[in-house]
Amino acid sequence: MTELKGRDFLSILDLSAAEMEVVFDLARELKHKQKNGVAHPLCAGKTLAMIFQKPSTRTRVSFEVGMYQLGGQALYLNAADLQLGRGETVADTARVLSRFVDGIMIRTFKQSDVEELARFAAVPVINGLTDWEHPCQIMADLLTILEHKGRLAGLKLAYVGDGNNIAHSLLLGGTRMGMRVAVASPPGYAPNPELVDRAAAEAARSGGAVELTTDPAAAVRDADVVVTDTWASMGQEAEHEVRRVVFGPYQVNEALVRHARPDYIFMHCLPAHRGEEVVDAVMDGPNSVVWDEAENRLHVQKALLALLL
């Protein structure tokens, strides 16, 4: 577990396909040990600072519990505790925290803040979410697909909804692993073109593919995996009513998933707005693996912590 030691994880592309496989293998091993009561104190005596400028249930609990199960300790720091980038510069915060802790996880708005934190920190920095990417979530998603499908390369993943951080990281991570990634978004809400170009370059190397469309049915057709996310992300609450109208035709419902393969799996990073981006019949249906997906945040992040710290 030394190959990744001391590295940052700011983007899903910070890991090669082979390194992602290492993370998945360790995550499965740690998951098995946890469920069988086998201690695995791989981070004994280590401390993780968790910076939250955006609140979160799953990110906080999964990292905090993960560090505890690894024998270490997590320290929660919210925006009021730090005044990051306002009272104290990001660079100075990085320098100070590096003297106290063994790693830093940050959940914030700007990707540039995460990159600046990593540039000045002497310890590994993990991106817990930005407006640009959500790499830990997508590592959990890919692990979940592996568990249910046995492979990633050659599978078709359809994402229906806003071209947001989830769409970005799915495009990058999926194509790196040789998947066909189709994204259906309303006009004006597609993923960032620069990132789409990067995903297309990954697909050219891995044998995957990228497809952008405004037609949800076309994206979902013959999909092995169907994914969606909330229509209005944190910080976009003022746009919610407008987005409800714009994204109405992009709801993942029983009619839409009929275009997918019969054995498709449905995923959502949560929290879900039931009745908006997804209906109960899909969310709670036999093809849904959202609870496995949520649990795998814990296991994949434990693997990352054990490998990086």
Active site positions, annotated: 107, 134, 137, 229, 269, 297
| Cα(23)–Cα(37) distance, integer angstroms | 21
End-to-end CA distance of the chain: 10
- Check if the beta carbon of residue 138 is closer than 8 Å to that of residue 167: no
Residues 6+ apart with CB under 8 A from 192: 132, 163, 168
Strand partners, 160: 184, 228
Q: Give me the DSSP letters along 232-291.
A: S-TT-GGGHHHHHHHTGGG-B-HHHHTTS-TT-EEEE-S---BTTTB-HHHHTSTTB-HH
**Is residue 52 classed as helix, strand or coil in its secondary structure?**
strand
| Cα(93)–Cα(80) distance, integer angstroms | 14
Q: Give me the DSSP letters along 196-238.
A: HHHHHHHHHHHT-EEEEES-HHHHHTT-SEEEE--SS-TT-GG
